[in-house]
Amino acid sequence: LSERLSGVFDRLTKQGALSEDDVKTALREVRVALLEADVSLPVARDFVKAVQDKATGQSVTKSVTPGQQVVKIVHDALVDVLRGEGEPGSLKIDNAPAPILMVGLQGSGKTTTTAKLAKRLKEKDGKRVLMASLDVNRPAAMEQLQILGTQIGVDTLPIIKGEDPVTIAKRAKTQASLGGYDVYMLDTAGRLSIDEELMAQVEAVRDVANPRETLLVVDGLTGQDAVHTAENFDERIGISGVVLTRMDGDGRGGAALSMRAVTGKPIKFVGLGEKMDALETFEPERVAGRILGMGDIVALVEKAQQTIEAEQAERMMKRFQKGQFNMNDLKMQLEQMIKMGGMEGMMSMLPGAAKMSKQMEGAGIDDRMLRQQIALINSMTKKERANPQLLQASRKKRIAKGSGMDVSDLNKLLKMQRQMADMMKKMGKMGKGGMLKQAMK
Ligand code: GDP
Ligand code: MG
């Protein structure tokens, strides 16, 4: 993908803002990348469309190409979709004993994940956990969980041959209450594909257990199929979250995006191997990077943006300290004020400016006023903005007329600019810019 994309990106125009064509060209490739990463077609299509609207018109950071910028935007949008609400990796397990129901297709990693999660709850959260296998279909399935339990030091419900899943679930509940367990985990049987018998069985278990969490365990390598599985289980059983296993393989993890988009349920954990500690909290950034396969570009763009912001701030501060505060600076400040909720927000951030804030309040400066002042500045020429002292009577008249205001309004603006320049200079002297630096953060 990297190569194909960079080819496209080389052709993209180098200009200040992302044009619709830039974005379209880059996103065509991103769409292919998503499909290659096993994201389902409708999900990929919707996602790309949403990004397209967002990206067009955004300015391009210097020192990165428009294509790199698009990748960053796509990456951020991916992270947004993948994240969902709530703390990743958190489980509702108050009110002991809290039942956790593990569901999914056979071989998806339910039993392994049950044990991994039990270990994590025990070690990280200090919980007393009881595990029970309800897999009466597969020979040795119950023993498998028992062996894992011994290995990680977590209790399992004693096996009684011939019991049906619902009876085992009830026994687990009783045992968990009597034994003072915080959590009991029910590891269910799976089929190779979804069938009626499996669903009816899981439903019956759900109804007796009333699980606090119903976690769907999905093989992260199954791609498109994972979506059908998730849809089916969610419709029939109602899941509270997803665990993606085999994310240690070389799959691209596109299932994660599809599943988030289709079910809206949070992905809580990822399985990263067969070992008992190979379970991690789901990290949207990591999976997004993997789906796009362009982690380096994202980091590059982030760094470039930070550097430029820091450089700009630094340059600005140096000028301010020398008392250089022209109309461009004032305009920027005015725009900031509007963004930050008017005068009060702005002034409260400038130490020592409280007095001036009062003055301005007294002068009735509000949002409308700020916009009028910006209009005045907009009517000035480039030269005038950089050197406000050029503004003599005739120029003033022209500017006032151009913005539909009076010369007296312009005079007020000029006074304000001079006051600000003085203030900045004083503050610069006071603490080598320490205060100003503070104020600009
Ligand atoms: P179940 O049928 O859903 O209970 O699946 P199992 O828990 O028995 O797992 C089936 C196989 O997948 C086992 O060999 C596990 O060791 C393996 N497995 C489970 N989770 C992972 C994972 O995250 N990564 C890898 N590489 N293998 C896993
Ligand atoms: Mg199993």
CATH number of the domain to which 149 belongs: 3.40.50.300
Residue nearest to atom 16 of ligand 1 (CA): 274
Number of domains in the chain: 3
What is the separation of C-alpha 393 from the centre of its chain, rounded to a whole number of angstroms? 54
Domain-located, residue 361? yes
Q: Is the CB of 133 under 6 A from ligand 1?
A: no
Residue 96 CB burial class (10 angstroms; 0-12, 13-18, ≥19): middle
Residue list, annotated binding site: 104-111, 187-191, 245-248
Each residue's pLDDT expressed in tens, for the chain with a length of 441 residues: 444 444 444 444 444 666 777 778 778 878 887 888 778 888 888 888 888 877 776 766 665 666 777 777 888 888 888 887 777 778 888 888 999 999 999 889 999 999 999 999 999 999 999 999 999 888 788 999 999 999 999 999 999 988 999 999 999 999 999 999 999 999 998 877 778 888 899 999 999 999 999 999 998 887 667 778 888 899 999 999 999 999 887 666 777 888 888 888 899 999 999 999 999 998 888 888 877 776 555 666 666 666 666 667 777 777 877 878 888 888 887 776 776 655 554 454 444 455 555 555 555 556 788 888 999 999 999 999 999 989 999 999 999 999 999 999 999 999 988 888 888 777 767 654 444 455 554
Q: Which residues pair with 217 in a beta bridge?
A: 243
pTM for the model stands at 0.67
78 and 22 in a single domain? The answer is yes
CATH number of the domain to which 22 belongs: 1.20.120.140
Q: How many CA atoms lie within 13 A of 429 on its CB side?
A: 7
Coil, strand or helix at 245: strand
Residue list, annotated binding site for GTP: 104-111, 187-191, 245-248
Question: Which ligand neighbours the alpha carbon of 112 most closely?
Answer: 1
Q: Which residues pair with 109 in a beta bridge?
A: none
ipTM of this predicted complex? Answer: 0.98
Q: Is the CB of 220 under 6 A from ligand 1?
A: no
Distance CA 360, CA 405 (A): 19
144 and 275 in a single domain? The answer is yes
C-alpha 355 to ligand 2 mean position (Å): 71
Return the ligand 1 atom nearest residue 271 CA. 23
C-alpha 167 to ligand 2 mean position (Å): 18
Residue nearest to atom 6 of ligand 1 (CA): 109
301-339 burial code (b ≥16 CB/10 A, e <16): beebbeeeeeeeeeebbeebbeeebbbebbbebbeebee
CB 102 within 8 A of CB 202: no
Best residue for ligand 1 mutational test, from 102, 112, 144, 147 (most atoms within 8 Å of Cβ): 112
CA distances for 198 relative to 72, 192, 204, angstroms = 43, 10, 10
Two tokens at 202?
């899981």
Identify the domain containing residue 350 by its residue range.
322-440
Q: Residues for the chain: how many in total?
A: 441
Question: Which ligand neighbours the alpha carbon of 280 most closely?
Answer: 1
Distance CA 297, CA 221 (A): 25
